[in-house]
Structures are given as C-alpha cells and as structure tokens.
C-alpha cells in the first residue's frame, strides 16, 4: 500500500485561506466527509478538537498534522490543504502553518494503513519536499510529488537494509525510543528527526517507534547492552525497566522534532544520567521534573481504573437484587429475601468485595512493578476486614481510606525491600521476586495495617458519622460542591477527585445508610450535565456557536446521557472563561437537587443505562434536566455572538 492509496485528488485542496485553527479544521473535516472516510462528521471533529486541546498537532516548520483515531472514521484516510498565507495553528515555534494534513483512523485501523501514514510523517521532515508541496498548482501535481518522494525513499531504504551496518568514527552507539498518545504523527516524526540528526553528525542510530500499529524496530537486549546512550522521546508511558543501568536522556516528542541536534549532541558528550529503575516497568518516560503530586495522581488513577470494573459490575448486580426482591417478606434482609435476589446479591457482593484489594494492589504495582501487586492486594484486604493486633480476624474496617494508605505504603515498602536486598549475591536474584519480596512485603504491610486500621477506621467512622449527621441543607450543599467539581476541569484532577470521593462513598453505603449512594448519584448527575447543556445551547442559542460547533453539538446529548463528561471539552477549550463557569453552575444545581430529592445510585458509572437502578429516578431526571437547562441558559447569556 502506498500513500496515494489513502489520499485522493478529491481530498486535496490547495491555496486555501483559514482565519484560525478551527476554520482550518472545518476545511479538512469537510474533505474527509466528502471522500467518504467518515460515518459521523460531527463526532470526528469532536475527536480532532479534543486531541488539539491536549496540545497542538502543529509540529513546526510550517506543518500541522491533526489526527484522530476514532469510531467516527469508517476507514483510514488522509486529506491535505495548503494555506500559502499561513494559519495560526498554535505551533510551538510560533510560525504559521502552511501545509496541513489531517489523518483519520478507525479504532480498528490495520497496521498497514498506519505504517503508510507513518511513512508520510517521516517524509515531511524534508523541508525541500514540503516547500514543493506548498507550491503545488494542482491536486494531481501534489499527489505526484508525494508518490515520487515515497518511491525514492523506499528505494533508499531497500539499499540501506541491504548494506552492512554503518560504523562511526566516534564509536558512540546510540539508541532511541519515540512514543506519543495517538501514535500516528509525532512518534514517527520524532524518530525521523533523531535519525537524521545522528546522520548529520556522522552517527548511526536505531530508533524504536511505539505507534498505533504497535512497537516497530524494537530494540533487542543485546543492542541495549551495547548502547552508550539511549534517548527516550515520549509523551506517554514506555517500558523503562530494560534500560536499567544505562545512560538515558528523557525528552518529549516535540523536543526531538525541534531540538534533535541538541539531544544528539548531549548524547555524544555523554551528558546523560544513569537510569536506575525503581518503579513500574511501564513507568513514565516523561520529563524528569515530574512533580511528586503528579506521580501520586498517576499511581492513584492506576488503582482506580483497575478497580472500577469490579465496582460497576458488582454495584449494578446488587442494585438488581433490590429491584427483584420483595421488601415485605423481611425488611431487615431486603435484597436477599427471594432466591433470585439472593443470587444476584451474592454475585454482586463478591465482585464488590474485590474493590479495596484491587485498588491497593494496583496502586502498589504502579509504584513498585509486579512485586508490589501481591503486597498491595493483601494490604487492601486487611483494610477491608479491619484487622488489628487485638483482633486479627477483623474489627475496625478502614475501608477506602485504609486501602489508599495500604496501596501507597505497599508500593514504597517493596521499593525499600528491593533497595535493602540490592547487595545480596547474584545467585539469589531468582528468588527475590518469588520469595523475598512477597514474604517480607506482606509481613511488613500486615504490621502496618494492623497498626493503622484503628486510627484510619476511626477517621472513616467519623467521616461517615458527619455525613449521616448532616442536615438536609448541608447535604444539599455537599451535592452542589461535588456536582460543580465534576464540571470544573472535566476529566482533570478536580473531576477525578469528586468521582473518587463518590466511589469511596459506595464502600460505606448500605440499605440502612444510603448517604453513600446519594453522594454517588450527585456525582454522576453532575458529570452528565455539561455535555447535555452544550447540546441544548447549540440548538437554542445558535448565534453563540460556529457552524461546526452547531453541527457537533447534538452529539453531546448522547455523550451526556452516557456519562461522558469529556464531550464538553472542545467547547470549554474554545471559550473557557464563559463556558466553564456556566457548566459548573448547572452541574452544581443538578448535584444539589439530586441530594435534595434523596436520589440514590449503587453503581459508579453507566449514565442512562443504570437509571433503572437509580432510587427516585423521576426526580433524578428532573435534577438532570434542570441543571442542564441552567447551564444552557447561562451559556446563552455569557457567550458572545460569533459574528461579533
């Protein structure tokens, strides 16, 4: 397959003008739709804008490569526009973009498609080639230039593969790894930049690319062993354990694209620290100055993401048990009175019971790799049972808070054990992960949890008591705060904090104490409101939104009903000062009303699909509708007309 198989002349539009980034995106999305690459034009644009919100895809040198891998694309494809006067695409080098390609890739895109697209990305590093594309007079000439460049590159690559490996006068052996979240554009452009910069300095360099099609050009153990310096240019997690003891330079893909010569220069001088692996094999290869708070957040999210399937599945099954049971048979045993209800509750309860061990286990694994998993799992289980020295069988459960402590404690306990045992003879390396780490780690975490369970359990009981003792007014205020937090940064730390708090509340809820279920209901309705409000506003206040926003707006009805708060991100990113406050107020209203109506929810996710198990579902719908309308009206008031 060649690039021209993905790029037709109908998908090329030359000598365009674009007022801004959004206008350029609209032009390219329209081309994709025209050539039949999309099944949902509005959703595809949302995916493109959401990617831009994470960081501009303008790579500098007058080039931008917006891209998205989404179900809204029905096949892999490419379109291109030239803007000779330039368009501000928020490039890191501050220069306007004149050559823009937009890549569409479906979720199940074949590796061959992605490899072809990656080849184009590396070709764009040739400035004379990109200049000729910008100056092309017709789409046919544009595609012909690409085809000839591709043929020349393939011929050159074939010759290089047949040739013997190059030797360098300096004797420096360099390796590299590049990776970006989408794995379509920056991954390959960074690799090409590093390889070219190395070649310019008389060096050869092998670069592993961790793209959408999987890892390519994978570094072997022998190559890593012989390497003098390894450059990691990545914006996502890559496997780092294999580089233990080697000189490693860490950078972003943007650094590799724009400052590749500097990185190679550092490598030649040996200006690189020796990497000491002490965390997860998939620990982040992001910049060295990552804050402690950011690291803790990533460890926590690793635990939460693995925990959620157990909580969601178990919570819904428990809720179904209550729906199917007969309360009149035995109110004190509600949920297990009938055989069918008892079966659902047993299965759901078993799944739900893994919540705390899984949370703690995967927090510990994120910190200390696989040896931390068993230690964290046991710590979470001890938090669940409430084991103490006086009552080893369980006495004072420390619940969610205890599991958090257990996860972090277990991770750092294992790291400490690894450090202590570093001096043991090499012959004992094989028994460390199967005997020393789990035995010592579980023993120590057992001592720690038995010591802290009474304290954390008492704190947990106090928090539960405070929540239960809240007046109706106070509980409504809590609902407003949680709802507002869900709309503050939509998928960010505050949103996640509110969500984790709601999930934690589920662990302490019961039929006799439904406060935790009420909290979870307020959290979810607060997260459903922003996308629905956006959709309503785009229908009512059309003069406040661009044509592209009006077309994509209704899609947010579906996203909101599915509890996908991130659907509102493109709109918030385009006008944060007016959109975010509007969404926060509506979500706060929805959360407050949910609390006021005493709506309950036993599952932490699902949106409209879990409404059958929502307590007081009619008023829950009222809370959702009122909150959404409030935000929509505020958007109509605060946003400026697009024509002004």
Examine the residue annotation and report whether 180 is marked as an active-site residue of this protein. yes
Confidence at residue 171, expressed as pLDDT on a 0 to 100 scale: 66
The model's confidence at residue 168, banded by pLDDT at 50, 70 and 90, is: very low
- Kindly tell me if the per-residue pLDDT of 287 is higher than 50: no
Give the tokens for residue 533.
């409000």
- pLDDT at res. 377: 96
pLDDT for residue 409: 96
Mean pLDDT throughout 313-317? 80
CATH C-level class of 166-269? alpha beta
Q: What is the mean pLDDT of residues 83-106?
A: 87
pLDDT in tens, 342-353: 999 899 889 888
- Give per-residue pLDDT as tens, 438-472: 999 999 999 999 999 899 888 877 776 776 666 56
Q: How far is CA 626 from CA 242, 388, 564, 569, 629, in A?
A: 54, 48, 18, 21, 5
Q: Which two tokens stand for residue 441?
A: 């780690």
Nearest to 536 by CA among 525, 523, 524, 545: 545
CB atoms within 10 A of CB 350: 12
Distance of CA 435 to the CA centre of its chain: 35
Residue 7 DSSP symbol: -
Alpha helices (H) along 214-291: 221-226, 253-258, 260-269
With a cut of 60, say whether residue 110 has pLDDT above it: no
| Catalytic residue (one of 180, 440, 450, 599) | 180
- Residue 31, number of CB atoms within 10 A of its CB: 22
What confidence score (pLDDT) does residue 525 get? 95
Please name every residue paired with 247 in a beta bridge, in sequence order, or none if there are none.
Answer: 229, 274
Provide DSSP, 334-382. Answer: TTSSSHHHHHHHHHHHHHHHTHHHHHHHHHHHHHH-THHHHHHHHHHHH
What whole-number distance in Å separates Cα of residue 507 and Cα of residue 359?
12
pLDDT of residue 493: 66
Domain boundaries, the chain: 3-109+123-161, 166-269, 292-460, 472-638
* Catalytic residue list contains 440: no
Residue 19 structure tokens: 């007022």
Do 51 and 68 form a contact (C-beta atoms < 8 A)?
yes
Q: Which is more confidently placed, 494 or 197? A: 197
**pLDDT (mean) for 140-146:** 93
Supply the mean pLDDT for the chain.
Answer: 83
Q: Which residues contact 337 (CB under 8 A, 6 or more apart)?
A: 325, 326, 327, 329, 330
- CATH T-level fold of 3-109+123-161: Mannitol-specific EII; Chain A (3.40.930)
Distance between CA atoms of residues 25 and 165, nearest Å = 43
Instruction: Give yes or no for residue 109 having a pLDDT over 90.
Output: no
Q: How many CA atoms lie within 13 A of 449 on its CB side?
A: 42
Q: Taking 60 as the threshold, does the pLDDT of residue 288 lie above it? A: no
What pLDDT was estimated at residue 358?
A: 94
Is the pLDDT score of 395 beyond 80? no
Q: Which residues contact 155 (CB under 8 A, 6 or more apart)?
A: none
- Give the integer Cα–Cα distance in Å for 375 and 146: 55
What's the half-sphere exposure (Cβ side, CA atoms, 13 Å) at 258? 16
Judge whether residue 633 has pLDDT over 70: yes
pLDDT digits (tens, 9 = 90+) for 590-632: 999 999 999 998 877 778 888 888 889 999 999 999 999 999 9
265 three-state secondary structure: helix
Distance CA 565, CA 526 (A): 9
- Tokens 């996860």 belong to 407
Q: What is the mean pLDDT of residues 96-118?
A: 74
- The Cα 225–Cα 206 span in angstroms is 14
* Active-site choice (67, 186, 258, 605): 67
Higher pLDDT, 431 or 510: 431
Q: What percent of the chain has pLDDT over 70?
A: 88
pLDDT score for 189: 78
Of residues 276 and 97, more confidently modeled: 97
Most confident of 229-238, 354-363, 503-512, 620-629: 620-629
């Amino acid at each position: 397959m060649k690039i021209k198989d993905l790029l037709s002349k109908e998908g090329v539009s030359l000598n365009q003008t674009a007022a801004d980034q959004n206008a350029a995106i609209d032009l390219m999305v329209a081309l994709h739709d025209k050539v039949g690459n999309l099944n949902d034009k509005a959703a595809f644009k949302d995916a493109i804008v959401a990617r831009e919100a994470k960081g501009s895809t303008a790579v500098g040198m007058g080039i931008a490569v917006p891209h998205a891998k989404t179900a809204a694309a029905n096949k892999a494809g490419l379109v291109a526009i030239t803007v000779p006067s330039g368009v501000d695409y928020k490039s890191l080098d501050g220069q306007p973009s004149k050559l823009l390609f937009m890549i569409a890739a479906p979720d199940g895109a074949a590796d061959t498609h992605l490899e072809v697209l990656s080849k184009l990305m590396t070709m764009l590093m040739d400035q004379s080639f990109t200049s000729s594309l910008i100056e092309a007079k017709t789409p046919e000439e544009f595609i012909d230039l690409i085809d000839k460049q591709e043929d020349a590159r393939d011929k050159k690559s074939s010759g290089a593969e047949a040739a013997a490996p190059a030797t360098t006068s300096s004797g420096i052996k360099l390796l590299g790894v590049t990776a970006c979240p989408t794995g379509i554009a920056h991954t390959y452009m960074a690799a090409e930049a590093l390889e070219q910069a190395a070649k310019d300095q008389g060096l050869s360099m092998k670069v592993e690319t961790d793209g959408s099609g999987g890892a390519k050009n994978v570094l072997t153990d022998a190559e890593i062993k012989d390497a003098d310096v390894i450059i990691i240019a990545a914006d996502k997690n890559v496997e780092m354990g294999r580089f233990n003891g080697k000189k490693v330079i860490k950078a972003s893909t943007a650094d590799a694209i724009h400052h590749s010569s500097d990185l190679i220069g550092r490598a030649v001088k040996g200006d690189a620290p020796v990497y000491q692996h002490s965390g997860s094999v998939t620990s982040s290869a992001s910049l060295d100055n990552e804050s402690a708070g950011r690291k803790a957040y990533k460890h926590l999210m690793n635990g939460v993401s693995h925990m959620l399937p157990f909580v969601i599945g178990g919570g819904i099954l428990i809720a179904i048990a209550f729906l199917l049971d007969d309360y009149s048979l035995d109110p004190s045993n509600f949920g297990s009175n009938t055989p069918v209800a008892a079966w659902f509750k047993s299965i759901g309860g078993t799944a739900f019971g893994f919540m705390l061990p899984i949370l703690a286990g995967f927090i510990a694994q994120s910190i200390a790799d696989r040896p931390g998993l068993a230690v964290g799992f046991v710590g979470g289980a001890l938090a669940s049972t409430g084991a103490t020295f006086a009552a080893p069988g369980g006495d004072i459960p420390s619940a969610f808070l205890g599991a958090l402590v257990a996860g972090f404690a277990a991770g750092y306990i294992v790291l400490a054990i690894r450090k202590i045992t570093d001096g043991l003879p090499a012959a004992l390396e094989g028994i460390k992960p199967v005997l020393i780490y789990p035995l010592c780690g579980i023993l120590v975490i057992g001592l720690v949890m038995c010591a802290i369970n009474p304290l954390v359990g008492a704190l947990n009981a106090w928090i539960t008591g405070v929540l239960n003792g809240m007046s109706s007014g106070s509980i409504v205020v809590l609902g407003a705060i949680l709802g507002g937090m869900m709309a503050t940064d939509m998928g960010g730390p505050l949103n996640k904090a509110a969500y984790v708090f709601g999930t934690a509340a589920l662990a302490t809820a019961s039929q006799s104490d439904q406060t935790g279920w009420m909290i979870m209901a307020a959290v979810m309705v607060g997260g459903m409101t922003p996308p629905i409000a956006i959709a309503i506003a785009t229908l009512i206040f059309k003069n406040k939104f661009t044509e592209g926003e009006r077309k994509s707006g209704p899609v947010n009805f579906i996203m909101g009903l599915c509890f996908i708060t991130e659907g509102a991100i493109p709109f918030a990113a385009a006008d944060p000062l007016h959109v975010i406050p509007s969404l926060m107020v509506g979500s706060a209203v929805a959360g407050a009303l949910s609390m006021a109506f005493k709506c309950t929810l036993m599952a932490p996710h699902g949106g409209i699909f879990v409404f059958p198990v929502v307590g007081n579902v009619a008023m829950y719908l009222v809370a959702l509708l009122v909150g959404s309308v409030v935000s929509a009206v505020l958007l109509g008031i605060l946003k400026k007309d697009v024509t002004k």
